[in-house]
């Protein structure tokens, strides 16, 4: 009996060491109320939010410090539900990010009891109601992004108490009323303001000129602001672009500081405004409305439109005829010298076959040589001691091919240039890729190449060609892209009937392409990690997909080629393949012309400014628009002389030539689109303004094109 008692005591002591179940802490319980308020979680973002846990610090989207919740971030997960008021009881909460979900309802008042909140990012939902006055309690708030919701009411006066606020983004809502007093005097830390596409009214606060830390665009467009433009806005940093378009502003445009040298797109849609850069002079007591519809952008003063039906003659403000003749003669002599040098070096270096064009296209047989993608696979014996050797390096998780599969694939030459050869490569499983070979050399610059190419590989946009993988060795550098099937925009505009199966682009197709290119540039300029500049935009590197959607290609190629050593590698030709000409034909006349005469798409300042600017791309885009409107090459033949397309359009405008003399003949069937074509011509001429400061930014160009499409629907 005694032994049984001892055994019982032993078992009792053993069981006492089993740790009891610890209940979820208070903060976890608060977060479970958030989970319960989300009625749909299709991606299971909160699937591991369990009441059996000791704390919520391991839950998806939750960040803790010292076992205390400081951040809730669940963006882009299609969450459907509302925000509970209990979130305000998370005393150390610093960051809330629910962007691009399907949240609805109002902002709970108690949310603003989390007075340490530094960022509140809720854009891209369906939230509504007004912003509570309690927002003034958030003295540490730095980022407030409520854009693309259904908020209404006025901006609370207490917002001016958030003196650490750096980004205020309220665009695409239904906010009304005036901006609170002290808006500029108190929010001196602001770096970004976007109030566009609301219904704000009243005058623009004069103290906004005190916001000396602003960057980028101060966007007040598409509201109901009235009265005059405060001259104090000119005190903002000169690098700031001020967008006041589509309001009810009136009076003269102040020509001070940041308001000077701005293009018309910053002020259009305000029928009462007058003065430079608009076409409404301020000489009259009652400034008149410009002859073009207010919803369309205006040409700068130096680009008057001959197509507005005014019938008024204007003096030619350009160069005299003698000066033009002198310039043209000088250009012709220079062109001849460049041509001789080009021919000499090309024949010495490339050993060019007289029976083929520069893309390897056999003129007599109508076929193109298929060249093998057989390159030297670098081995240890070919590498220096300081260079790393890589296999094929994927830049995308979806890459399912390897180097051996690439080597076994069928390859057809799509084109050649000084930066290398481009192949169409068809893998054994049918996947089609575009592979560009860069030159040999650059053996000591692998790390630089790797950094540059991996940054480019992160770019993802429907209108930018995706770089999927790369290969590096001393002897070979390969870039592997998505294959875009319908050739280049240059081919679509300029290849003539009879050479290939040719279907002219309709005006609606051209508008679709114009907007797609603009979207791609807006992404590169504003939303890519480094706010890139393309620097070499032209129709030959804009590729067209199955539905004619445009894809900007060759981004960053010049720098990669420079690192890799440049030059076209020697290829080993194998066999001749009669592939369909329409799959290969490029705009040969365009390439040949621009190679000899220089790039007709480059902004004038590129000859003297070393640092690339986004305004370079804006100029190139403007030339592309002119090319799509006129159907002409960037170099226009005028009698026995040649001039660039921008200059030719200017002469047509000065001479009051009818639109039919300028328009691409293939657009004759789109006569009912004349007003829209003229509007795009004006946008193009604003883009090619000789002064970079007067060119619009690409986002405003895209907005103008979108408004044109909406007005024509």
Q: Are 468 and 399 in contact (CB under 8 A)?
A: yes
Distances (CA, A) of 107 to 93, 112, 127: 16, 9, 8
CB-CB contact of 48 with 60 (8 Å): yes
Of the candidates 104, 123, 101, 231, the residue with the CA atom closest to the CA atom of residue 167: 123
d(Cα 490, Cα 318) in Å, to the nearest integer? Answer: 30
CB 101 within 8 A of CB 77: yes
102-105 vs 126-129, strand pairing mode: parallel
Catalytic pick among 243, 536, 617, 664:
536
* Two tokens, residue 96: 């809330």
Buried b (16+ CB within 10 A) or exposed e, 382-395: ebeeebeeeebbbb
Residue 290 and residue 279 in contact, taking contact as beta carbons nearer than 8 Å = yes
644 catalytic? Reply is: no
Answer for the pair 221, 245: CB distance below 8 angstroms, yes or no.
yes
SS3 call for 398: coil
Find the DSSP H helices in 160-283: 183-186
**Residue 235: φ, ψ to 5°:** -80, -10
What residue spans of 20-69 are helical by DSSP H?
A: 26-37
Up-side HSE of residue 214: CA atoms within 13 Å toward CB? Answer: 26
Q: Is 152 exposed, middle or buried (0-12, 13-18, 19+ CB in 10 A)?
A: middle
> Which tokens go with 60?
């998806």
Residue 333 token pair? 């002599």
193 touches 214 (CB < 8 A): yes
> The dihedral of CA 258, 260, 261, 263: what is its sign?
positive
As a whole number of angstroms, the distance between CA 183 and CA 179 comes to 7
The answer to whether the CB of 618 falls within 8 A of the CB of 697 is: yes
Nearest to residue 662, comparing CAs of 695, 627, 686? 627
- The residue assigned the tokens 């009243």 is 202
In this structure, the number of other CB atoms found within 10 A of the CB of residue 580 comes to: 10
DSSP 86: G
Retrieve residue 147's tokens. Answer: 């854009």
Distance CA 698, CA 323 (A): 34
Cα–Cα dist 30/56, whole Å: 10
Strand 367-371, strand 361-362: pairing:
antiparallel
Q: Residue 158: which region, alpha, beta or left (left: phi > 0; alpha: psi -120 to 50)?
A: alpha
Cα–Cα distance, 139 to 429 (Å, whole number): 59
Of 388, 522, 535, 519, give the one whose Cα is nearest residue 448: 388
Q: Point out the residues that are catalytic.
A: 536
């Amino acid at each position: 009996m005694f032994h049984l008692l001892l055994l019982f005591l032993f078992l009792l002591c053993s069981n006492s060491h089993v740790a009891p179940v610890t209940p979820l802490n208070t903060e976890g319980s608060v977060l479970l109320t958030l989970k319960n308020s989300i009625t749909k979680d299709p991606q299971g973002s909160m699937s591991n939010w369990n009441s059996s846990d000791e704390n919520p610090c391991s839950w998806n989207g939750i960040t803790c410090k010292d076992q205390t919740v400081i951040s809730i971030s669940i963006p882009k997960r299609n969450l459907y539900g509302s925000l509970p008021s209990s979130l305000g009881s998370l005393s150390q909460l610093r960051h809330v990010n629910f962007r691009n979900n399907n949240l609805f309802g109002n902002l709970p008042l108690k949310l603003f009891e989390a007075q340490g909140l530094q960022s509140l990012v809720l854009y891209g939902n369906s939230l509504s109601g007004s912003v509570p006055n309690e927002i003034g309690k958030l003295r540490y708030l730095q980022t407030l992004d409520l854009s693309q919701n259904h908020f209404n009411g006025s901006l609370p006066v207490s917002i001016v108490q958030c003196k650490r606020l750096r980004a205020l983004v309220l665009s695409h809502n239904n906010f009304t009323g005036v901006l609170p007093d002290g808006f500029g005097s108190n929010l001196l830390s602001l770096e970004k303001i976007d109030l566009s596409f609301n219904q704000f009214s009243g005058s623009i606060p004069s103290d906004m000129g005190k916001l000396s830390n602003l960057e980028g665009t101060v966007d007040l467009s598409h509201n109901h602001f009235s009265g005059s433009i405060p001259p104090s806005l000119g005190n903002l940093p000169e690098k700031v672009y001020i967008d006041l378009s589509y309001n009810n502003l009136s009076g003269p445009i102040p020509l001070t500081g940041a308001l000077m040298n701005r293009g018309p797109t910053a002020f259009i849609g305000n029928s009462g405004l007058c003065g430079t850069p608009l076409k409404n002079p301020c000489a009259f007591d009652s400034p008149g409305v410009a002859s073009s519809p207010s919803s369309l952008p205006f040409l700068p003063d130096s680009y008057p439109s001959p197509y507005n039906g005014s019938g008024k003659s204007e003096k030619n403000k350009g160069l005299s005829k003698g000066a033009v003749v002198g310039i043209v003669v000088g250009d012709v002599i220079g062109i001849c010298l460049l041509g001789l040098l080009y021919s000499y070096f090309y024949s010495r270096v490339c050993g060019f076959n007289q029976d083929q064009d520069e893309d390897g296209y056999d003129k007599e047989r109508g076929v193109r040589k298929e060249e093998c993608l057989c390159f030297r696979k670098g081995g240890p014996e070919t590498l220096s001691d300081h260079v790393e050797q890589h296999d094929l390096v994927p830049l995308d998780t979806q890459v399912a091919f390897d180097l051996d599969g690439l080597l076994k694939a069928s390859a057809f030459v799509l084109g050649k240039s000084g930066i290398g050869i481009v192949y169409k490569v068809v893998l054994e499983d049918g996947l089609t890729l575009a592979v560009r070979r860069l030159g040999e050399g650059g053996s000591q610059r692998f790390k630089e190449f790797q950094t540059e190419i991996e940054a480019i590989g992160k770019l993802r946009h429907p209108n930018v060609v995706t770089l999927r993988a790369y290969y590096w060795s001393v002897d070979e550098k390969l870039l592997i892209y998505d294959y875009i099937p319908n050739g280049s925009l240059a081919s679509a505009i300029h290849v003539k009937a009879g050479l290939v199966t040719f279907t002219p682009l309709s005006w609606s197709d051209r508008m679709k392409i114009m907007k797609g290119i603009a979207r791609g540039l807006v992404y590169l300029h504003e939303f890519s990690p480094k706010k890139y500049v393309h620097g070499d935009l032209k129709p030959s590197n804009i590729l067209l997909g199955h539905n004619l959607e445009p894809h900007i290609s060759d981004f960053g190629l010049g720098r990669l080629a420079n690192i890799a050593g440049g030059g076209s590698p020697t290829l080993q030709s194998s066999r001749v393949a009669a592939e369909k000409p329409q799959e290969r034909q490029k705009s040969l006349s365009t390439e040949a012309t621009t190679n000899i005469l220089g790039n007709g798409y480059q902004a004038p300042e590129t000859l003297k400014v070393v640092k690339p600017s986004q305004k370079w791309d804006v100029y190139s885009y403007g030339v592309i628009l002119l090319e799509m409107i006129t159907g002409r090459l960037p170099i226009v033949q005028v009698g026995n002389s040649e001039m660039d397309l921008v200059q030719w359009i200017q002469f047509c405008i000065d001479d009051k030539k009818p639109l039919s003399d300028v328009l691409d003949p293939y657009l004759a069937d789109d006569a009912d689109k004349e007003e829209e074509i003229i509007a795009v011509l004006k946008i193009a001429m604003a883009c090619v303004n000789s002064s970079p400061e007067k060119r619009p930014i690409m986002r405003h160009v895209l907005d103008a094109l979108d408004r044109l499409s909406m007005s024509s629907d």
